[in-house]
Amino acid sequence: MRFEGVTFTYPGTDTPVLRGIDLDVRPGETLAIVGTTGCGKTSLVSLMPRLYDITGGQITLDGRDIRDIKLGSLRRLVGMAFEDPTLFSMSVRENLTLGRRETTDDEIYEALRVAQAEFVYELPWALDTRIGEQGLSLSGGQRQRLALARAVIGRPRVLVLDDPLSALDVHTEALVEDALARVLHGTTALLVVHRPSTVALADRVALLADGQITAVGTHSELLETVPAYRAALSAEAVGATGPGGDVERSGVVSR
């Protein structure tokens, strides 16, 4: 996965959010993106699955410009989970597979295990329980775990994870990180880091400041040599919202 001279400006605005981004993520490598709030981390990782299209430069996957890959095909290659996930008014199973009929029950179970989301089997109709606006309300942590399970189903070639554990309690977060580390071992991944503890999942780290990459290296290298990196991690730690408690809110259950 390679970013070459990537520039991005949101539609309807004139000021670039990202400028001259050059990154080379090797196959099987996890690259963490670190930076203070508002520096462009989420914007950067949103470009890989083409939630937005770049306005300059190019992004390639195995040497092929991602704009030349059909969007449906690209989304099957790239699994993604974001801090504020989108779940649809349909069953848990349908939310997890999103039309991928070839997904097996074993693959669903494995993904739920990685995301520590086995709670779905305790819902009134398990995988067939309807959730979302027309169904059962879930806590923020439960929503994040389902979105993470959806991202890792079928072991996609590329994972894009934007702080998908922020609403989890410390114990659950540690369990998810341990299982996720094994998934990331064989997957190319971009990981937005808001919590310093999550940096341990990455092979290398890129520091993003004001829409530009200012340093790339291992966590220990940057910690030792780049004061701005230490400052960014400290700012993120102070700004962390804390555990979400994973307490399920009451809601209407429909099948």
Query: What's 9-61 look like in SS3?
Result: CCCCCCCCCEEEEEEECCCCCEEEEECCCCCCHHHHHHCCCCCCCCCEEEEEE
* Residue 64 belongs to some domain of the structure: yes
Residue 150 has pLDDT above 90, yes or no: yes
3-class secondary structure, 215: strand
185 part of a folded domain: yes
Tokens of 146: 């389902």
CATH, residue 206: 3.40.50.300
Domain count, the chain: 1
For residue 114, the model assigns a pLDDT of 94
Quick check: is 244 in a domain?
no
Alpha helical stretches, state H, the chain: 41-46, 71-77, 92-97, 105-114, 140-152, 170-184, 219-225, 227-239
- pLDDT-derived band at 250, boundaries 50, 70, 90: very low
Q: In this predicted structure, which of 11-15, 95-99, 249-253 has the lowest mean pLDDT?
A: 249-253
What pTM, to 2 d.p., does this model score?
Answer: 0.87
| Residue 37 within any structural domain of the chain | yes
The pLDDT of residue 153 is above 70: yes
Token pair belonging to 167: 């609403």
For position 238, what pLDDT does the model report? 57
104 in a domain, yes or no?
no
In the chain, the amino acid numbered 156 is P
**What pLDDT is attached to residue 251?**
38
pLDDT band at 240 (very low <50, low <70, confident <90, very high): low
Q: Which residues form the domain of 22?
A: 2-84+156-239
pLDDT tens column, 50-101: 999 999 999 999 999 999 999 999 999 999 999 888 899 999 999 999 878 8
Does 147 fall in a domain? no
- Which pLDDT value is given to residue 245? 42
User: Tell me: the pLDDT tens digits for 156-197?
Assistant: 999 999 988 888 888 888 999 999 988 898 899 999 987 777
Q: Measure the CA–CA gap between 111 and 162, rounded to whole angstroms.
A: 18
Q: Which of 157, 195, 204 has the alpha carbon at shortest distance from 176?
A: 195
Biggest CA-to-CA distance, the chain: 56
pLDDT in tens, 196-218: 778 989 999 999 999 999 999 99
Task: State the pLDDT at residue 246.
Answer: 44
Domain membership of residue 103 (yes or no) is no
CA distance 129 to 122: 10
Gyration radius from the chain CA atoms: 18
Residue 42 covered by a domain: yes
